[in-house]
Structure 1
Amino acid sequence: MRPSCSRSNRNNGFPRPTRSSTRSAPFPPDPQCEAVRSIRRRPVPTTPADTDNTSVSKNSPPTSRLSRRELIAGTLGAVAAAPLAAQQQAVETTRRPGRGPNELDQRSPFVTPRRDPSPTSSRTPLQDLQGTITPADLHFERHHGGVPEIDPDRYELLVHGMVDRPTVFTLADLKRFPAVSRICFLECSGNLRRGSAETLPQMVCGLTSQTEWTGVMLSTVLNEVGAHRGATWFLAEGQDAAVMTRSVPIDKAYDDAMIVYAQNGDALMPGNGYPARLLLPGWEGNASVKWLRRIELSDRSFMTREETSRYSEPVGEEGQIRQFSFVMDARSIITEPAYPTTLEPGWHEIRGLAWSGRGLITRVEVSVDGGANWDGAELQAPVLPKAHARFRHPWHWEGGTAEIMSRATDETGYVQPSWEALRTARGPRTRYHQNPVTSWTVGDDGRVLFGVERLRS
């Protein structure tokens, strides 16, 4: 939305401009607002209205008073000249009725956010979204054997193992339990792509999204089947071609784990586990097994392929293996300004997202000088545990080079590390749970590029 021309909305929380100078105006001048102001500033002479002005020079002001109709016509003409040429060809919307309602609404043809697909994943366009909730059709998707088509009327979930009553649940059975809704993020543990300088936020860490999930608490289901006290782990198995399986500590089941069947008020999207999936808030996405068909309780982990050869990694210099690294640590990313933006000197708002699998984000700091100095950013309420939080910070760019960065702190005191600190702690072969501070560089010409050099080692 463009800044309003009205005086009351001009500052938007930024420093108020002084009367003696317009240099500190909060935003670069808006062309439409300036067009209107130029009409209002036109000199109105005192020559009588009946004076013949037919020979007035094109470069001199008119010598007659503007009528109200002429003023309005001139204003509308100036405003209409500002939009793109393509918009000038459009038929004025007030002259003909618009379309009527339909069964399924669609985005405006002028709004075209898209995920970035690859053979095994699709990344959320973080730079195109507002707020903290990701539209269901833009939620990131990661699979290991394609997206199956499952008939909900034939769907079944088996819960067995160390239980009193092994039970098969249908989707209707799951929906008969007390329904719970929760807003939380999901993130792939491999959510970092270093790429090149010409990289969108979507490509840097677009394998995270946020949804309001609806389903049944897993603890409710386990109480229904009579889980044994000696059970310490459970196996979650998917109904995809990869038969995705993960071992999960039973404590998570009794904490906040859910079996969900809806997102953002509607059924799950097929790529996100329709008709039902496991949800482990704050933990790496692969453990929230999609297309859930089996849960088995045991007194030991199952050591499946996905947690031995895939989602484990060497750390340090002595060949140690890091396993069961479930929790996603605190992280943030600036989504605006970012590539391919080109800045004009003046006030800008640095915006982004921060999140932590350990709980609440308590602080986000922003630096515009490559980390030499940090200022606290404002967090947009409400800030929820294990959820994306929006942050913003006003910045006056006066030209010249700059490097903008953000770092997040969560309620445990964990601070998002630099790339160097992360590599020192984990070793050079780390692949998962990479949550380093990232940056965007601003050139003398205002062009914004991804700070890929900070991630080279």
Structure 2
Amino acid sequence: MRSAVPGATRRTVLSTTVAAGGACALAPLGQAAAAPAAPGGPILKPLPTARFVDFGTNAEMRWESVDPRRYLTEQSRLFVRNHTRTPVIDRDSYALRIFGDGLARGRSADAAVELGWRELRRLPTTQLTSVHECTGNGRSLFASQQGTPASGTAWTLGAVGAVTWTGVRLADVLRRVGLDRRAVSVQATGLDDPYVSGGVDYGRVRRPFPIAKALDDALLAWGANGEDLLPDHGYPLRLVLPGWVGIASIKWLGSLEVSRTELTSPWNTKWYRMTGGEHPADSPPLTVNPVRSAWELPWGAELEAGRRVVLTGRSWSGAGPVTRVEVSTDGGATWHPAARRRRGGHSRGRDAAWAQWSYVWDRPAVGSHELLARATDARGRRQPLVTPYNDNGYFFDAVVRHPVTVA
């Protein structure tokens, strides 16, 4: 069957190679052969201990290593969230498969439209800057700050970064392929190994999202901060859903199913929705990230007494720009506005990522203190003092109590 896209051809979808450059293993149409694990672990890029906490399949950027002078997060510094291991993919034989009854000409998975790397690169290119964040960022604070431990990787605040993505708008791709006006849902599926947990094979990581998001600001990205994606961050192509939970931005994008009915997967029915605590059993899948703030200094930092101390930090929201940041140096007894640190066009506009800010603490008293920062976004959402508990520790958005000592 001929492709619906001019110039597109049918081909074997993907080959994955051994990290050291071994022989390619060809997979059946619609699947991908798993790359053997790289020597040293499931993450391929270096993870120096001064910059990362290595959790095995996941790696957290140490927040205290963030450079206050830099706005964007280099890929080499960006956190890694894998369900299995990073595959190594041959870009020349890669193709994105698009199918489903939500296309103008409905297609089964076996008759998918296929777009290769060069075909995608010939489409109009765009860039957007957004905060990319794991849904569980701050999870460990449920235990350390609120006394309610939650299961999952014990992220502190480093499962986040700001990235300028380069790619093609998903809306342009879908319109070029041909979209049925009755389409309501898109499911993105990755090409990493199937995820097995508790003896159950849940298949490849996949998650649906509404057609409205697909036609709004969704991006098929091949670049980050002016460079090709690293393998750990989705090379050669990944989905980016700005402002949404990290799991929604599927890495190593293999296929998109477009449907006239609501699609589901374990990643929006079993996981990545609120369960436990006081949350209702029918809580919807998580989408837009909350408002968060973090000070740019080590946990338990020692500060010099008797002088003016310039403190800096960042705040961000999945729903839009941060409009106000307030800080407290006395554990929340009093609050003061922080000064915004504007850097070019990054601090405003539709594709704004995080807001950088500063506060001058004038001659702090000797002793132990808690620094607090809370942000408000353009939709009026402000960080609470307590985050309601949930089983998986998602969306810890409470004001973080950051300890420091003045001596």
Q: What letter corresponds to residue 169 of structure 1 in structure 2?
A: L
The answer as to whether partners of 1:190 and 1:433 remain within 8 angstroms in 2 is: yes
DSSP 3-state at the match of 2:208: strand
Cα separation, partners in 2 of 1:386 and 1:327, compared to 1, 3 Å:
farther
TM alignment of 1:9-48, pairs within 5 A: none
Q: 1:269 to 1:344 in 2, by over 3 A?
A: same
Counterpart Cα distance in 1 of 2:244 and 2:52: 23
Determine whether 1:252 maps to 2:213.
yes
Aligned partner of residue 303 in structure 1, secondary structure: coil
The TM-score, its normalising length taken from structure 1, stands at: 0.68
1:259-290, Cα deviation, whole Å (9 max, x unpaired): 00001111001111000000000000000000
| 1:150 counterpart letter in structure 2 | I
Distance, in Å, in 1 between the alignment partners of 2:205 and 2:279 is 30
Q: Greater CA radius of gyration, 1 or 2?
A: 1
SS at the partner of 2:367? Answer: coil
Contact kept in structure 1, 2:300 and 2:402, CA below 8 Å: no
Instruction: Classify 1:151/1:188 alpha carbon distance in 2 versus 1 (closer, same or farther; 3 Å).
Output: same
- 1:312 lines up with 2:258 in the alignment: no
* 1:235, distance to aligned residue in structure 2 (A): 0.6
Secondary structure, in 3 states, of the residue corresponding to 2:120?
A: helix
Residue 416, structure 1, aligned to residue 380, structure 2: no
Within the candidate set 238, 256, 279, 1:295 is matched to 256
Of 372, 375, 378 in structure 2, the residue corresponding to residue 405 of structure 1 is: 372
Aligned-pair distance for 1:405? 0.5
Report the AA paired with residue 163 of structure 1. L
- Matched residue, 2:132: 186
SS at match of 1:310: coil
Cα distance change, pair 348–112 in 1 and its aligned pair in 2 (3 A):
farther
Unpaired runs of 5+ residues, structure 1, are 1-110, 447-457
2:164 corresponds, among 212, 219, 224, to: 212
Q: CA deviation at 1:364?
A: 0.6
- Structure with the bigger RCO (C-alpha within 8 Å, sep 6+) is 2
Structure 1 residue 428: Cα displacement = 5.4
Partner of 1:383: 347
- Contact preservation (8 Å) 1:122, 1:141: yes
Which has a greater percent of strand? 2
Identity within the alignment, %: 33
Q: Over the residues paired in the alignment, what is the CA RMSD in angstroms?
A: 2.1
Q: In the alignment, residue 264 of structure 1 is paired with which amino acid?
A: N
The answer (yes or no) to whether the contact 1:312–1:321 under 8 Å persists in 2 is no
The whole-number CA distance in structure 1 between the counterparts of 2:66 and 2:256 is 35
Unaligned runs of 5+ in 2: 1-47, 106-111, 146-153, 195-203
CA–CA distance in 2 between the matches of 1:214 and 1:146? 24
> In the TM superposition, what is the alpha-carbon distance from 1:408 to its structure 2 partner?
0.6
Q: Name which of 316, 321, 325 aligns with 1:364.
A: 325
Given that residues 356 and 386 in structure 1 are in contact (C-alpha distance below 8 angstroms), is that contact kept between their aligned partners in structure 2? no
1:235 pairs with 2:181:
no
- Aligned residue pairs: how many? 325
More helix by percentage: 1
2:115 pairs with 1:169: yes
Q: Deviations over 1:8-35 (max 9, x none)?
A: xxxxxxxxxxxxxxxxxxxxxxxxxxxx
Q: Provide the residue aligned with 1:436 in structure 2.
A: 398
**What is the TM-score when the length of structure 2 is the normalising length?**
0.76
Shift of 1:112: 8.4
State the match for 1:28 in structure 2: none
Matched letter for residue 167 of structure 1: V
User: 2:187, 2:257 within 8 Å by CA — same for their partners in 1?
Assistant: yes
